[in-house]
């Protein structure tokens, strides 16, 4: 995001350098670019020059805020000791290859054997998101069913209450298609109002849902459009069955029963 990345020149003989993430830059250098500033983690005995700033990552949990992080060149890893409270060393090696597990070497495994800790970048992300994804998938599957059942129940109740009115309309010459359109319009009207209110409420609650979203903005237009279209289709299908039942009413039989 600013400055440069590490290079081969940043070895043990070179002056100590570091990179910081966006969170650390905001906390310690809120009004200035951190590149060129110096930091020390051993009470001032050794200073490291910040040469670059990188974006935040979520290293420990997807639902936690990014922590302040500082990155050091691997060749200079033992050049500076850190006595800051709560600080800890975290090291890993990233390999870009078609088959990383086959190429990972080092440590205890014999030559030619995959390293036991080797895993793809997608594996820890998938594991961290598994519980959240299961809850979202379950809600996504249940919500349309509940929505359809509720709308169909309400519209069916209205049709039953207006059986005589519908029979009179049809006896006076109203075509069945107009009855279907009438029931659909009366059923979808409240749905449209609910969508408008729901989208407005969602926009007001963006701060609450921000921590639950990853790589998606809380005001993502395609998401709102997709949800609105999905609910509209579900509502239309839920209204269609009662509307067709209303259009199938026999006017004479309904009036005699009344």
Three-state SS annotation for 164-195: HHHHHHHHCCCCHHHHHHHHHHHHHHHHHHHH
Domain-located, residue 105: no
Report if pTM > 0.85: no
Q: What is the distance between the alpha carbons of residues 175 and 72, in angstroms, rounded to a whole number?
A: 78
Which of 91, 106, 131 is at the close of a domain?
91
Is 179:170 a contact under the CB 8 Å cutoff? yes
My answer on whether 69 and 187 are in the same domain is no
Spacing of C-alpha 192 from chain mean position: 25
Domain identity same for 32 and 151: no
pLDDT band at 252 (very low <50, low <70, confident <90, very high): confident
Question: How many domains does the structure of the chain reveal?
Answer: 2
| Strand boundaries in the chain, DSSP class E | 2-3, 17-21, 38-39, 48-54, 70-72
Please enumerate in sequence order all residues whose Cβ is within 8 A of that of 199, keeping only pairs 6 or more positions apart, or say none.
224, 228
Task: State the average pLDDT for the chain.
Answer: 76
Cα-based distances in Å from 172 to 38, 161, 163, 248, 252: 88, 19, 14, 15, 11
In the chain, what percentage of residues exceed pLDDT 70? Answer: 71
- Work out whether strand 48-54 and strand 17-21 pair parallel, antiparallel, or are unpaired: parallel
Taking the C-alpha atoms of residue 256 and residue 258, their distance in angstroms, rounded to an integer, is 5
Q: What is the pLDDT of residues 51-103, one digit of tens each?
A: 999 888 776 666 677 788 888 888 887 644 555 566 565 666 777 766 655 54
Instruction: Provide the domain limits for residue 204.
Output: 122-257
Helix (H, G, I), strand (E, B) or coil at 3: strand
Query: Phi, psi (5° rounding) for residue 249?
Result: -65, 135
131 and 85 within one domain: no
Task: Answer yes or no: do 74 and 134 share one domain.
Answer: no
Do 69 and 176 fall within a single domain?
Answer: no
Amino acid 79: pLDDT:
46
| The two three-digit tokens of residue 39, written as one number | 């930091």
Q: For residues 74 and 194, state if they share a domain.
A: no
Tens digit of each residue's pLDDT (9 = 90 or more) over 183-209: 888 788 888 888 888 888 888 877 766
pLDDT number for residue 106: 47
Residue 101 domain flag: no
Say yes or no: 144 and 67 in one domain.
Answer: no
């Amino acid at each position: 995001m600013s400055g440069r990345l590490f290079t081969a020149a940043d070895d043990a003989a070179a002056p100590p350098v570091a990179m910081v993430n966006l969170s650390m830059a905001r906390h310690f250098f809120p009004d200035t670019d951190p590149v060129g500033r110096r930091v020390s983690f051993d009470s001032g005995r050794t200073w490291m020059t910040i040469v670059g700033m990188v974006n935040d990552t979520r290293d420990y949990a997807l639902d936690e805020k990014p922590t302040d992080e500082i990155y050091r060149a691997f060749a200079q890893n033992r050049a500076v000791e850190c006595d800051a409270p709560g600080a800890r060393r975290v090291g890993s090696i990233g390999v870009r290859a078609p088959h990383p597990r086959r190429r990972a070497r080092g440590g205890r495994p014999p030559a030619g054997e995959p390293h036991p800790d080797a895993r793809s970048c997608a594996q820890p992300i998938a594991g961290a998101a598994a519980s959240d994804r299961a809850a979202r998938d379950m809600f996504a599957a249940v919500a349309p069913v509940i929505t359809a059942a509720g709308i169909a129940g309400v519209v069916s109740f209205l049709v039953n209450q207006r059986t005589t009115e519908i029979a009179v309309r049809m006896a006076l010459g109203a075509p069945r298609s107009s009855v279907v359109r009438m029931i659909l319009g009366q059923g979808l009207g409240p749905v449209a109002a609910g969508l408008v209110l729901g989208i407005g409420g969602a926009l007001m609650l963006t701060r609450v849902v921000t921590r639950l979203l990853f790589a998606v903005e809380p005001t993502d237009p395609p998401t709102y459009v997709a949800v609105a279209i999905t609910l509209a289709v579900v509502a239309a299908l839920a209204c269609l069955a009662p509307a067709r039942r209303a259009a199938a009413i026999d006017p004479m039989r309904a009036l005699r029963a009344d």
